[in-house]
Structure 1
Amino acid sequence: MSPKPRVAVVGGGVAGLSAAYALREHAEITLYEREPHVGGHAHTVEVEDQGRTLGIDTAFVVFNRPAYPNLSAFFDELGVEDERLLSGFHFFDRDTGVLFGSDEMELPAEEVAARYPEEFRTVFHEVRRFHEEGRRDFLRKRTDIPLGEYLDRGGYSEAFRYGYFILLCSAVWSVPAELIWEIPASTVLAFFMAHDEGGLGGRRVDWRTVRGGSVSYVRRAVAAIDPKLRLSEPVTAVHEAADGVTVTTPSGSERFDHAIVATHADQTRALLTNPTPRQRELLAPLRYHASQVVLHTDASVMSAERSRWEAWNYGKVTVDGQVRTYVAYYMNKLHNFDSRTDYFVTLDYPLPLREECVIRSFRYEHPVIDMAMRGAQRTIYEVNEGTRVKLCGSYFHSKQQFWDQIGSHEAAFSSGREAAAQLLRELGHSGA
């Protein structure tokens, strides 16, 4: 019986864990991770609260079964428990006092016309128009253009763009306002068509969170894989040769039969010492943006009307003469726990937080989903054909959901599984 091939998996986020899990019975796996823990954006902070431990997620928080089929099946296989999330969304303008949420968006049009100010009436009607026209345009293949251009063509108002739409998109793709307009309109529309008009916070979506935080699934996955773990060991180079792959870290170099690089595209670009022409062409135009995420207890990030707080809260405020938007996740509702302490996770909050309220701060990087990234999806999986170094990450799409499922936990998980399947096919394993 021939020995199992030695495979290095570089990156311990969901893509790397997915690949390693698929290979666990067929290879001897060494998992490299630059952080002192695995999980990547599945990053849970465990806090002591009233004599118990609460697991609070800070990046990947929610999923639903229709839009995350592969990830959901993985959770089922691991025996991971989830919690149903019953909430909605809440918008508030801290300058004007205007606020609205899921309840208002579901009102009859005649009631909105009779009871609400002009700014909200404009948003209400343009939201409906966007989803009606957008669905038709998507099906007629008229949306393969940047979102900003699509909204310009449609004559959408500033109130709709900055008082509603940009807030939803910032939460979904974790990029700032100036980059939202570069997202392909087709990608944005595909997200809403797969969920509902509320997106994150939509009430017709069966959103769920991992019970105990996403660290629960990470721990079970690592136990099932049982790899050689190299934590706090950043990889500095990956070199492919005809007979193997050399992985280099600050502590030295090690030889493997194959490697799966499950890092962000820009990091992968820096790691590969001799990329293939396909790898070079794929990785060259892909960009990332870093967001500042803070877990804290400072309720000043929320609207004054506590009764309106939802799991997803979208704020707008003028800072130094510039309109700034941010997302505030109310973690008590997201994770469905009761506590005398209110916990929040804010994304790119533009004002100072009270220092004594800050629990942890993070810098998370997300792909900038633009026309170049979407265009790359046409042939992206060909990059792994016939190479000893396979690539994966959230810059790949989920094959089950076409090119517009990019940037999500599902996309990353699916790409890791596909990278492992390609390697297993090339190693002669049937059924891979």
Structure 2
Amino acid sequence: MTKNVAIIGTGISGLTCGYLLNKTANITVYESNDYIGGHTATKKINDEGIERNIDTGFIVFNDWTYPRFIKLMKQLDVAYQPTEMSFSVTSEKANIEYNGNTINSLFAQRRNILRPRFWRIVRDILKFNKACKAFVAEKRDTSSMTLQDVINELKLSDDFARYYILPMCAAIWSASLAQTRQFPLTFFLQFFNNHGLLNITDRPQWYTIKGGSSTYIPPLTASFKDKIKLSCGVTNVKKVGQKWQVTDTSGTQALFDDVIFACHSDQALAMLDTPSEVQQAVLGAIRFAENDVVMHKDTNQLPKRKLAWASWNYRLKDDAGEEERPASVTYDMNILQRLDAANTYCVTLNNTDKIDTSAVLGSYQYSHPQFSDVMVNAQQRRSQICGVDNLHFCGAYWYNGFHEDGVHSALDVCERFGAHL
């Protein structure tokens, strides 16, 4: 008998489920927004008579740690191009600025060549990388340690922490410096080692989707786009007999055999009419935080020296609120998307009030999972709620919070239905 399946959400997890399950099930896909894609958010702009597609959410992937996503893109015949993944840090108060991409850009601020303080940061980076790789190779038990613990154990400088490793982690996970200090070390080591971030040279090749990330959405949804209900969120999911009753924002109710929550964990928990204690404990432990995102042309958000301009540019204010403030990062989209443009297009997180309003092209908000030991413990309890009583929960939050993880968690769900990529 063909199952009736509700899929809630059209991020990469929901779309992957729709793509695979539409072949064998009667699916209905709910989306509260008026567009498909979730964090795949390419914005079409007309700037000085030229149309451009600029990514503001999902931007990059690599050939080491995105095997499922790349397999999906190849199935869909989606074109992608190599890009540069470089990282800069600027602190005007401490007068430190560098871009770690090349030796030349590392010393974009030429005074650093003769600056012992800067050389200590470089030395500590090498020491930190070597020690972390040894932890991984020796399978050291780091389950009770945080990132700050290893910084303390290795007696690394505060400059190393403040101007290198904490900003890098904060940029990757859209977190505050205080949160990154408390990152579970095991989680950190696995991610940094797998992504080659503990290496100086041997690193993965990064890519962007040609024409913008949203280019993959039409081929991915071609077989089921008529089953997607836009501007139609879900307000309630309730057990009725042996079925699940889904109520949408218009008040319409429908019965399903299975429900796939391809939305954020906190959203899924809010939709459940009577969540179990386990569902409350697991989903409630996975928190999300809003980040302000602005697309603009204000190059004052980039490092002062053009040689220091990188793909990702972290800006430190070095004031009293620095530790608790969400990550302030500017993506140079000309570098990332290989744009041949006279203007420099930027996407900045969490520095909205400092951006020249005349240069703003669009403002958005996106939520990101907040990693902690509590969240990691909740991830390990996934089997206690996923697939239980025909309810399924998928999303990048079950792994590292990235696009590959969204696909991975969707495939975990689809395999329960006998569907494979």
**Structure 2 vs 1, CA of residues 344 and 113 (structure 1 numbering), >3 Å: closer, same or farther?**
closer
In the alignment, is the contact (CA less than 8 A) between 1:61 and 1:209 conserved in 2? yes
**Structure 2 vs 1, CA of residues 362 and 327 (structure 1 numbering), >3 Å: closer, same or farther?**
same
Structure 2 partner of 1:248: 247
**Structure 2 vs 1, CA of residues 125 and 131 (structure 1 numbering), >3 Å: closer, same or farther?**
same
**Structure 2 vs 1, CA of residues 321 and 51 (structure 1 numbering), >3 Å: closer, same or farther?**
closer
Structure 2 partner of 1:401: none
Q: Is residue 228 of structure 2 the alignment partner of residue 226 of structure 1?
A: no
Q: 2:407 aligns with which of 401, 413, 421?
A: 413
CA distance in 2, matches of 1:358, 1:301: 12
CA distance in 1, matches of 2:298, 2:111: 36
Structure 2 partner of 1:310: 310
**Structure 2 vs 1, CA of residues 322 and 16 (structure 1 numbering), >3 Å: closer, same or farther?**
closer
Secondary structure, counterpart of 1:336 in structure 2: coil
Q: Is residue 329 of structure 2 the alignment partner of residue 327 of structure 1?
A: yes
In the alignment, is the contact (CA less than 8 A) between 2:7 and 2:262 conserved in 1? yes
Structure 2 partner of 1:290: 290
Structure 2 partner of 1:197: 197
Deviation at 1:162, TM superposition (A): 1.0
CA distance in 2, matches of 1:321, 1:215: 36
Q: What TM-score do you get using the length of structure 2 for normalisation?
A: 0.90
Q: Residue 27 of structure 1 aligns to which amino acid in structure 2? A: A
Secondary structure, counterpart of 2:389 in structure 1: coil
CA distance in 2, matches of 1:207, 1:251: 42
In the alignment, is the contact (CA less than 8 A) between 2:11 and 2:40 conserved in 1? yes
Q: Is residue 388 of structure 2 the alignment partner of residue 394 of structure 1?
A: no
**Structure 2 vs 1, CA of residues 305 and 28 (structure 1 numbering), >3 Å: closer, same or farther?**
same
Matches within 5 A, 1:5-154: 5-49=3-47, 51-103=49-101, 115-138=113-136, 139-144=138-143, 145-154=145-154
CA distance in 2, matches of 1:321, 1:393: 32
Q: What TM-score do you get using the length of structure 1 for normalisation?
A: 0.88
Deviation at 1:198, TM superposition (A): 7.1
Secondary structure, counterpart of 1:38 in structure 2: coil
Deviation at 1:65, TM superposition (A): 2.1
CA distance in 2, matches of 1:372, 1:390: 21
In the alignment, is the contact (CA less than 8 A) between 1:88 and 1:203 conserved in 2? no
CA distance in 2, matches of 1:194, 1:257: 38
Provide runs of 4+ in structure 1 moved above 6 Å. 105-108
CA distance in 2, matches of 1:113, 1:353: 28
Per-residue CA deviation, residues 391-424 of structure 1 (Å, 9 max, x unaligned), is 1111212xxxxxxxx21111111111211221x1
Secondary structure, counterpart of 2:129 in structure 1: helix
CA distance in 2, matches of 1:114, 1:244: 66
**Structure 2 vs 1, CA of residues 303 and 243 (structure 1 numbering), >3 Å: closer, same or farther?**
same
In the alignment, is the contact (CA less than 8 A) between 2:286 and 2:378 conserved in 1? no
Per-residue CA deviation, residues 154-180 of structure 1 (Å, 9 max, x unaligned), is 332210111111111112111122221
Q: Residue 231 of structure 2 aligns to which amino acid in structure 1? A: S
Q: Residue 393 of structure 1 aligns to which amino acid in structure 2? A: G
CA distance in 2, matches of 1:228, 1:114: 58
Matches within 5 A, 1:175-214: 175-197=175-197, 204-214=203-213
Q: CA RMSD in A?
A: 2.7
Structure 2 partner of 1:358: 360
Deviation at 1:79, TM superposition (A): 0.8
Deviation at 1:152, TM superposition (A): 2.8
Deviation at 1:386, TM superposition (A): 4.0
Paired residues, number? 413
**Structure 2 vs 1, CA of residues 206 and 322 (structure 1 numbering), >3 Å: closer, same or farther?**
closer
Deviation at 1:321, TM superposition (A): 7.3
Structure 2 partner of 1:402: none
**Structure 2 vs 1, CA of residues 321 and 394 (structure 1 numbering), >3 Å: closer, same or farther?**
closer
Structure 1: gaps of 5 or more residues: 398-405
CA distance in 1, matches of 2:31, 2:321: 42
CA distance in 2, matches of 1:114, 1:307: 14
CA distance in 2, matches of 1:194, 1:321: 32
**Structure 2 vs 1, CA of residues 278 and 331 (structure 1 numbering), >3 Å: closer, same or farther?**
same
**Structure 2 vs 1, CA of residues 327 and 113 (structure 1 numbering), >3 Å: closer, same or farther?**
closer
Secondary structure, counterpart of 1:310 in structure 2: coil
**Structure 2 vs 1, CA of residues 321 and 283 (structure 1 numbering), >3 Å: closer, same or farther?**
closer
Secondary structure, counterpart of 1:376 in structure 2: helix
Secondary structure, counterpart of 2:159 in structure 1: helix
Secondary structure, counterpart of 2:317 in structure 1: strand
Deviates more, 1:334-343 or 1:383-392: 383-392
**Structure 2 vs 1, CA of residues 364 and 221 (structure 1 numbering), >3 Å: closer, same or farther?**
same
Q: Residue 46 of structure 2 aligns to which amino acid in structure 1? A: E
Secondary structure, counterpart of 2:89 in structure 1: strand
CA distance in 1, matches of 2:91, 2:401: 28
Identity among equivalent pairs (%)? 27
